[in-house]
Amino acid sequence: MSNMRRMKLTGSYEAPIGTTMYVVNTGDWRYQRPVTIAGKCRKCGLCSLYCPTGSRYEEANAFATDLRYCKGCGICANECGAAAIAMVEEIRT
Ligand code: SF4
Ligand code: SF4
């Protein structure tokens, strides 16, 4: 079975070049999630630059995570110089 068939596809659309593009909620792959410790976040944006899924975004007091696409790789936590991101186990109900 190809990797494409194993992924959960949440939708598709026709791209301008005539190819069918698929929407994949990469957040479904996650077994751990990043939690920002707001008091430590310096809002430097480094986590956003390194995130491979573009899931980190700026809020009023700290950077946060779009959990629809965060795949839990932990790169943001590893790169944060302020130790403002903790990786915690994902609990799915
Ligand atoms: S890298 Fe760390 S300190 Fe910088 S914005 Fe991200 S969470 Fe905040
Ligand atoms: S855990 Fe990985 S995918 Fe999720 S926000 Fe951090 S860098 Fe991005």
Contact by Cβ (8 Å): 9, 52: no
pLDDT of residue 13: 66
- Rounded to 10 degrees, the C-alpha dihedral 43/27/91/51 comes to -30
pTM: 0.81
Cβ–ligand 1 distance for 64 under 6 Å, the answer no
Task: Give the residue among 62, 31, 27 at the shortest CA–CA distance from 48.
Answer: 62
Distance (angstroms) between ligand 1 centre and the Cα of 64 equals 9
Distance (angstroms) between ligand 1 centre and the Cα of 28 equals 24
Q: Yes or no: is domain 27-89 CATH 3.40.50.720?
A: no
Kindly indicate the confidence band of residue 88, based on its pLDDT and cuts at 50, 70 and 90.
Answer: very high
Contact by Cβ (8 Å): 33, 86: no
Tell me the per-residue pLDDT of 36-86, one tens digit each, with 9 for 90 and over.
999 999 999 999 999 999 999 999 999 999 999 999 999 999 999 999 999
Tell me the per-residue pLDDT of 3-35, one tens digit each, with 9 for 90 and over.
445 555 666 666 667 777 677 788 988 999 999
